[in-house]
């Protein structure tokens, strides 16, 4: 058993969240696609070990590294707000296998209307599930709002794809390969705000540095959604902007022209390589527990803070979601 003076503070990440490197290492651990290979029993055991560790009743002989591994598995599969196990497809650890397949196919099959419609539908279905799963769970959302976000983002992505495909028919082939990225970026800007519209309408919970809830802030919600939208676009950008260049050059070789059946698997693989690094990098762009200066909050919330804390509170904190 870990001695009292050596006990880990499992409430905080293993690495400092004050630097990009620390945030990258944190998200590298919980978005690692290998976490998805863990069984339900593995995840439940990780939760049980952490629960026991919190009250100092972990099994004798438990090592520090076992606690860190349990924390990694727990954070890869359980929602930080509710503590509930998330659906597998919606977990960030599924972003690489799910994203590489969908992104690769979107860039390979983008020329005809049925191809565009099908893959944009698949992509937005995936995005809607991920956005819902990783929302700030303290803000409830109705089934009607989920449906509106899903339909709007899917429709928007299809219109952007089909419209741009028509515009670039006479443009260089490489330009046409960038149409899926434009559609994905546009859809994210539609999907995420709509999926999290209750946060914009009602605000999200903000806390002091000790975790005490202070109130609800719409401005904190705006900041969190802008950060998440930015991260999602950056996450997709390298794979969807660089891989088309690589594929265009490879396809000029005769040996590549003879193995056209392997073009899609190769593109999927290259997207996977990109997402392996870009998922944690994009998530690490902004701290998970974001902050906002008190003087930027709504007037009524500032007045409430002034009455309770005086001038002793300069910032509030909130979970921005993923």
Report the pLDDT value the prediction gives residue 21, as an integer from 0 to 100: 94
The Cβ of residue 307 has, within 10 Å, a number of other Cβ atoms equal to 8
**Which tops the pLDDT comparison, 174 or 272?**
272
Q: Model confidence at 230, in pLDDT bands (50, 70, 90)? A: very high
- At residue 141, the pLDDT reads 67
Eight-state DSSP code of residue 18:
T
Q: Tell me: pLDDT of 19 over 80.
A: yes
The confidence score (pLDDT) of residue 136 equals 59
Rounded CA separation 153/235 (Å): 18
Is the pLDDT at 187 greater than 90, yes or no?
no
Q: What is the average pLDDT across 152-178?
A: 73
H or E stretch including 314? none
Least confident of 165-179, 268-282, 301-315: 165-179
Assess whether pLDDT exceeds 80 at residue 175. no
This prediction has a pTM of: 0.79
Residue 138 pLDDT grade (very low, low, confident, very high; cuts 50, 70, 90):
low
Beta bridge partners of 207: 213, 317
Residue 1 pLDDT more than 60? no
Question: Please, which pLDDT band fits residue 164 given cuts at 50, 70 and 90?
Answer: confident
Q: What is the pLDDT of residues 31-74, one digit of tens each?
A: 898 888 889 999 999 999 999 998 888 888 889 899 999 999 99
pLDDT value of position 234: 92
Is residue 140 a contact partner of residue 198, using CB atoms and an 8 Å limit?
yes
Residue 52: the pLDDT is: 92
pLDDT (mean) for 154-162 = 75
Q: How far is residue 124's CA from residue 184's CA, in Å, rounded to a whole number?
A: 8
DSSP class of 317: E
pLDDT score for 137? 62
Neighbours of 134 (CB within 10 A): 21
Q: Across the chain, what does the average pLDDT equal? A: 84
For residue 288, pLDDT beyond 80: yes
Q: What confidence tens digit (pLDDT) does each residue in 191-217 have?
A: 788 777 788 888 888 898 888 888 889
Look at residue 307 and tell me whether its pLDDT is greater than 80: yes
Q: For residues 121 and 142, which has the higher predicted lDDT (pLDDT)?
A: 121
Q: Which residues, at least 6 apart from 30, have a Cβ–Cβ distance to it below 8 Å?
A: 72, 75, 76, 92, 93
**DSSP codes of every residue in 63-98:** -HHHHHHHHHHHHHHB-TTT-PBPPTTTSGGGHHHH
pLDDT of residue 140: 65
């Amino acid at each position: 058993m870990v001695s009292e003076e050596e006990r880990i503070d499992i409430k905080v990440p293993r690495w400092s969240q004050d630097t990009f490197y620390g945030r990258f290492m944190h998200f590298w651990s919980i978005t690692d696609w290998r976490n998805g290979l863990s069984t339900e029993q593995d995840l439940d055991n990780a939760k049980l070990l952490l629960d026991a560790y919190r009250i100092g009743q972990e099994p004798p002989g438990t090592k520090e590294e076992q606690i860190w591994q349990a924390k990694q598995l727990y954070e890869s599969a359980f929602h930080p707000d509710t503590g509930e196990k998330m659906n597998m497809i919606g977990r960030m650890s599924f972003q690489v296998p799910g994203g590489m397949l969908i992104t690769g196919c979107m860039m390979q099959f983008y020329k005809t209307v049925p191809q565009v419609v099908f893959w944009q539908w698949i992509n937005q279905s995936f995005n809607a599930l991920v956005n819902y799963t990783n929302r700030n769970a303290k803000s409830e959302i109705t089934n009607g709002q989920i449906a509106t976000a899903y339909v709007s983002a899917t429709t928007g992505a299809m219109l952007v794809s089909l419209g741009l495909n028509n515009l670039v028919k006479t443009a260089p082939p490489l330009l046409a390969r960038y149409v899926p990225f434009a559609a994905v970026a546009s859809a994210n800007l539609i999907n995420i705000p709509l999926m999290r519209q209750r946060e914009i309408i009602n605000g999200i919970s903000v806390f002091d540095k000790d975790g005490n809830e202070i109130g609800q802030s719409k401005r904190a919600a705006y900041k969190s959604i802008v950060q998440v939208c930015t991260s999602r676009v950056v996450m997709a950008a390298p794979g969807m902007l660089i891989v088309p260049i690589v594929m265009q050059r490879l396809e000029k070789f005769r040996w590549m022209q003879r193995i056209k059946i392997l073009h899609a698997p190769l593109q999927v693989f290259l997207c996977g390589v990109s997402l392996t690094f870009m998922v944690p990098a994009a998530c690490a762009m902004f701290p998970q527990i974001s902050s906002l200066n008190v003087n930027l909050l709504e007037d009524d919330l500032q007045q409430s803070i002034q009455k309770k804390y005086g001038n002793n509170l300069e910032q509030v904190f909130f979970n921005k979601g993923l």
